[in-house]
Amino acid sequence: MNRQFQGKKLLVVGGSSGMGLETARKILAEGGSAVLLSHRPDRAETARQELAALGQVEALTAELASDEGLAALLKTLVKQHTDIDLLINAAGLFLPNRSWS
């Protein structure tokens, strides 16, 4: 098994689903730990529980669209997660353009 992320800590913005969740799964499988960030507490906790068997994983929630939400997140990261090595931004919003069809 490849252990290239052994001892590395990953912050995954949008880590509760899709590419972010799969990226966190890969990092955990390769020896790293993950902090999942989502704006939905229920999804963050579900993802944390799903990945917990693979390694050390934590879940945070924040609303990054607001100054207050961003400030609170930064305060938490500085206080509890100064050892983050990697950042993945997998957050996004898909708004299909109906004129494509």
**CATH number of the domain within which 37 lies:** 3.40.50.720
Q: Give pTM, 2 decimals.
A: 0.86
Q: Is residue 61 part of a domain?
A: yes
Q: Is residue 96 part of a domain?
A: no
Domain membership of residue 86 as a residue range = 9-91
- Convert the pLDDT of each residue in 8-48 to its tens digit: 999 999 999 999 999 999 999 999 999 999 999 999 999 99
SS3 sequence of 40-58: CHHHHHHHHHHHHHHCCEE
Smallest CA-to-CA distance from 23 within 7, 37, 12, 38 is with 12
Q: Is residue 101 part of a domain?
A: no
- pLDDT score at 65: 87
| Domains held by the chain: number | 1
Query: What span, in angstroms and rounded, lies between the C-alpha atoms of 65 and 91?
Result: 12
